[in-house]
Structure 1
């Protein structure tokens, strides 16, 4: 990991420049953040532009570090164009799921590349489910597919309880984007790892079952 390709550099630089513009320019931040009221007024560009804004430097660094660690895995398997398709598609799907879950909350707002980055993370897990991930608070390696499933189950918990200020729905929508677009681009996975495709689909199916049941 850590092989920075030109597309990864461009995306990171775009996030840094646009985020820092937002840090110092309140009107710019307000104009381009994800906001239900603004989107309903016809400002659909917010669903894309909000993915390049961040709340603060810590938020920005965390997302860009995650992108840095997993970008080259995705590029290695599906190429730079595939990587860009996963990134942008996950960003949009993250915003669409947020819109779906918060459509009646006129003042709901959000920013961050988390949806796009989670899409890249889930894509990397789908492509390399056997790789090990290390978490700050767990001293032993975790198989990537267990981390991916656990992360989405945690996101469902967060969406259900609404006890924090994290955009769990955008993360989940991004993961769906990473999952679907990667399978479309790397359909050989159906022959090589059908079981893993099924396992990683479990939390996605669960979310929509719970939503249909009115549990979320």
Structure 2
């Protein structure tokens, strides 16, 4: 309960993501279809709402579980550090940057469509690493903690591989843009943190 009180924005976002995704996956698959981001049709059909809706829905339970664990591990402590206002700004900045990157890459492909909060969550993950580069994450069944920078690199490597394979409706293309957005956000609002990250890495 204390975690929810001190990280209300992260708690609200995670709750919306979980509820909307589970309803779409289990009860209302039409919601997933309606929420898909289709870059080709964004402007012709004015599907502007899908810039936001796609980030609160997921293509399958595995996709939802992985994103949910990553968000839970890094978003809650990050919000406590930077405050709810900056945290929400970071989240939606990462979302819109990743949407823009997806649109630029696929705006000429009428068949492309995608779902997922990964771009925004990668922005949160990489911003959290800048603030606390020594953080780690536990993922069962791995018996040891994974250093956050290593986890982030593995996440991106998987994203590149999955993007090239074109797997399902998951927006792997947004991951690199989201990661960059997280670093850029910190560089703008808290520049000295990047200096701290550099000092941590070189030592």
TM-score (norm 2): 0.81
Mean alpha-carbon deviation: is it higher for 79-88 or for 130-139?
Answer: 130-139
Give the alignment partner of residue 93 of structure 1, picking from 89, 97, 111.
97
Measured after TM superposition, the shift of residue 189 of structure 1 is: 1.3
User: Quick one: distance in 2 between partners of 1:146 and 1:61?
Assistant: 20
Aligned residue number for residue 45 of structure 1:
49
Which residue number corresponds to residue 32 of structure 1? 35
Give distance in 1, aligned partners of 2:19 and 2:144.
Answer: 36
Shift of 1:136: 4.6
The 3 A distance-change label for structure 1 pair 38 and 196 is farther
Alpha carbons of structure 1 residues 173 and 196: separation in structure 2 relative to 1, 3 Å: farther
Q: Which residue of 2 aligns with 1:188?
A: 192
Distance in 2 (alpha carbons) for counterparts of 1:12 and 1:154? 23
Larger relative strand fraction: 1
Is the CA contact 1:36–1:107 (under 8 Å) kept in the aligned structure 2?
A: no
Q: Distance in 2 between matches of 1:156 and 1:106?
A: 22
Report the Cα offset of residue 197 of structure 1.
8.7
Matched length:
196
2:80 is aligned with 1:68: no
State the Cα RMSD in Å: 2.6
| Aligned ranges 1:98-113 → 2 under 5 Å | 98-113=102-117
The TM-score, its normalising length taken from structure 1, stands at 0.77
Q: Pairwise mapping of residues 107-146 of structure 1 onto structure 2 (< 5 A)?
A: 107-136=111-140, 139-146=143-150
Q: For structure 1, which segment, 132-141 or 114-123, has the greater mean C-alpha deviation from structure 2 after superposition?
A: 132-141
Q: 1:177 to 1:140 in 2, by over 3 A?
A: same
1:79 equivalent among 75, 79, 83? 83
Asked if the contact 1:126/1:197 (under 8 Å) is kept, the reply is no
Partner of 1:168: 172
More deviation, 168-177/144-153: 144-153
Structure 2 alignment gaps of length 5 or more: none
